[in-house]
Amino acid sequence: MGVFTDGSHEQVVFCQDRASGLKAIIGIYSTALGPALGGTRFYPYASEEEALHDVLDLSRGMAYKNALAGLDLGGGKAVIWGDPDQIKSEQLLRAYGRFVQSLGGRYYTACDVGTYVQDMDVVARETKYVTGRSVEYGGAGDSSILTAWGVFQGMRAAAEHRWGTPSLKGKRVGVAGLGKVGKYLVAHLIEDGAEVVATDVSPKALEWAKATYPQVGLVADATTLITSDIDVYAPCALGGALNDDTVPALRAQIVAGAANNQLAHSGIEKLLVDRGILYAPDYLVNSGGVIQVADEIDGFNFDRAKLRATKIYDTTKRILELADTEGISPASAADRLAEQRMAEVGRLRTIRI
What are the catalytic residues?
A: 77
Long-range contacts of 43-52 (CB under 8 A, 24+ apart): 43/79, 43/80, 43/81, 43/82, 43/84, 43/113, 43/114, 44/81, 44/82, 44/83, 45/79, 45/81, 48/23, 48/81, 51/25, 51/79, 51/81, 52/3, 52/12, 52/25
Residues facing residue 22 across a β-bridge: 17
The DSSP element (H or E) to which 173 belongs, if any, is strand 172-176
If phi > 0 it is left, if psi is from -120 to 50 it is alpha, else beta; for residue 89 that is: beta
Q: Which is it for the CA torsion 49, 244, 237, 202, positive or negative? A: negative
Backbone φ, ψ for residue 35 (5° rounding): -55, 145
